[in-house]
Structure 1
Amino acid sequence: MTGFLKRLDPFILIMLGLVALASVLPVRGTAAVVADGVTDAAIMLLFFLHGAKLSRQAIIAGLSHVRLHLTVLAVTFGLFPVIGLGVQAGLSGLMSPALLSGFLFLCLLPSTVQSSIAFTAMAKGNVAAAVCSASLSNLLGIFLTPLLVGLLMNGLTGHADGVSMEAVQKIAMQLLLPFVLGHLSRPWLGGFIDTHKAWIGRVDRTSILLVVYTAFSASVVEGLWSKVSWLDLAGLLAICAVVLALVMGVTWKVSTMMGFSREDRIVILFCGSKKSLASGVPMASTLFPAAVLGPVILPLMLFHQLQLIVCSILASRLHSGRS
């Protein structure tokens, strides 16, 4: 139990505390409008900093590993969506539709960046390739995730045809434009960004916490907890665990069959099996109506914590030479 508690991310505990706070003290009325404006500004700042952090040198350094990157992308944007659709179809009528939709959204997200690289380094994997693969996944995710949401989640966005033109414009203004501007500003801001990583990390996390609180506030006002039971939450956690184990097993087995080196298999394992909370929460806020945001991001919050715990254990085993 002590080891488990040590692996719990304090950020997730704060996030769960905000969910509890939103459940008893949701922001309403004029305060909700102000909070939404602040949250939108925080999301734009978040993606500006993501763009500024992305090093072109890191991308160029890993471009030679095309087959590895394609394998990671196939898992992230191919295998995961298929699994998400299967879970949604198989459990339809047995679990809250909102949570199942949230799980599908989780499956459409890009990989993490920081933790994928950190676990790859801990496990003695190919760090340069991990930097490139995780960064490429996040960059493509700005385009691919909204596209997949439009194709596979018709109705939840509030438009029968998927993602509306208004949502596309919002994505361009809130996510893509700040990201591009941030990356273009890297020659001037790169040094500051690289020497103030702790401060940048706090800005990232604060932005996500703002989105979580406002999202759950809106969902609570719309009756979230009358629609989602504790049994649903327990079932969702079990599903996340099974899917994470399945994807990790498949990525390790397939990468071995494809003849990748051990160092590259580690990259595929950690970059292919993870989903980004930092990208997912802001994207959800942009793509979905406020009333459904709570259940949409809840599966992602659970999966995020679970992947951190499991990957930390696996990275330690791989570091010591065990597979």
Structure 2
Amino acid sequence: MAMLLRRLPLLTDPMIAVLVITTTLALVLPATGEERTIATHISNGGIFLLFLVNGMRIRRSEIARGMANWRFFGPLMLFVFGAMALAGVGFASIATGVLPPLVALGFIYLGCLPSTIQSATSYTSLAHGNVALAVVGAALINIAGVFISAPLFAVLGGGGAGTIGTEAVLRIGLILVLPFVIGQAVQPWVIDRLADQRARIVWLDRSVIGLAVYVAFSGAVEQGLARMFALADWAVLVALVLLLLALALGAAWTLGGLLGLPRADRITFLFAGSQKSVATGAPLAAILFPPAAAGFVIAPLLLYHLAQLVLAAPLAARLARG
């Protein structure tokens, strides 16, 4: 039985539990009015702290090594922020007219996000891939995502909810970029201490993500999420998300082969290229969109993140067997 549970990420992965609990709480007991304003301020403070810690823990040497390995990271960057973003545009056009406009826009938002750090590295290790390359790649992609994802989404999202005005730019600078830069500046004095606090930092990630998701879905619930989303709509959304994930996995694996990467590096490319980060997506959505819109926009991201976690473990186990 224990072995069976370990094979079911849905039952064992704490991040999945956090997402399920926060979305359910938003559906049952949404934050509205002044309560949501307070929750939003707390969420923004948590996002600032999260990106401050990210700046402290991502070593500059890892960034330098990543930039030097252009043969691997050049194509990976183009895949994550190019091919996946264009795929998001394509799926958004399919979803338009079938799903609510903000949900369709969410596919573009999903495509513009960086890949995960924790799970991409973990599943690369499980699949016997190049773990060192995965760590450097995930760090480099997420740093780039802080600066690339929002403007890329603004360009591809057109005149929709993704339009970034001066206020949004300032909020991104103050809540995402500034704390990351401060973290990099003080890194030499704190990075060794942070290494001893990994478990607490992981729960900081989960708590901030959970609060951002709760605030976003509270706004969507208040705007009539239940009325706008029939059971058939959920079925369409899930089908589109699963199809996008399947295409991402297939394309990443194929491109790794075309590049002539060694098997271990090809496995790293697969997970780093196809997975998307709710750790960046949820906080960024809280900054870019009002709560009434954010919950709809991140719906594809949340389902994609859940699906990638559920499917990654058996896929990694299969790759490990050769």
User: Do the structures match in fold with TM over 0.5?
Assistant: yes
TM-score normalised by L of structure 2: 0.94
TM-score normalised by L of structure 1: 0.93
Corresponding letter in the other structure for 2:310: I
RMSD: 1.8
| Aligned counterparts of 1:172 and 1:300: Cα–Cα separation in 2 | 23
Q: How does 1:299-318 map to 2 (within 5 A)?
A: 299-318=300-319
Q: Report the counterpart of residue 132 of structure 2 in structure 1.
A: 128
Q: Comparing 169-178 with 254-263, which one deviates more in the overlay?
A: 254-263
Q: Deviations over 1:121-168 (max 9, x none)?
A: 22221222211211111011111111112111233337xxx2101100
Q: How does 1:105-124 map to 2 (within 5 A)?
A: 105-124=109-128
Corresponding letter in the other structure for 1:106: L
Q: Report the counterpart of residue 274 of structure 1 in structure 2.
A: 275
Deviation at 1:53, TM superposition (A): 1.3
Deviation at 1:105, TM superposition (A): 0.7
| Aligned counterparts of 1:171 and 1:222: Cα–Cα separation in 2 | 25
Match of 1:7 among 9, 12, 34: 9
Deviation at 1:14, TM superposition (A): 3.2
Corresponding letter in the other structure for 2:231: W
Deviation at 1:21, TM superposition (A): 2.0
Q: Comparing 164-173 with 57-66, which one deviates more in the overlay?
A: 57-66
| Aligned counterparts of 2:78 and 2:311: Cα–Cα separation in 1 | 22
User: CA contact under 8 A between 1:108 and 1:149: conserved in structure 2?
Assistant: yes
User: CA contact under 8 A between 1:51 and 1:182: conserved in structure 2?
Assistant: yes
- List runs of 5+ in structure 2 lacking aligned partners: none
Q: Deviations over 1:21-67 (max 9, x none)?
A: 22232112222221111111011011111111101222334444211
Q: How does 1:135-174 map to 2 (within 5 A)?
A: 135-157=139-161, 162-174=163-175
Structure 1 segments, 4+ long, off by >6 Å, are none
Deviation at 1:84, TM superposition (A): 1.1
Q: Report the counterpart of residue 46 of structure 1 in structure 2.
A: 50
Corresponding letter in the other structure for 1:140: A
| Aligned counterparts of 1:200 and 1:126: Cα–Cα separation in 2 | 24
| Aligned counterparts of 2:315 and 2:19: Cα–Cα separation in 1 | 25
Corresponding letter in the other structure for 1:83: A
Q: How does 1:56-67 map to 2 (within 5 A)?
A: 56-67=60-71
Corresponding letter in the other structure for 1:219: A
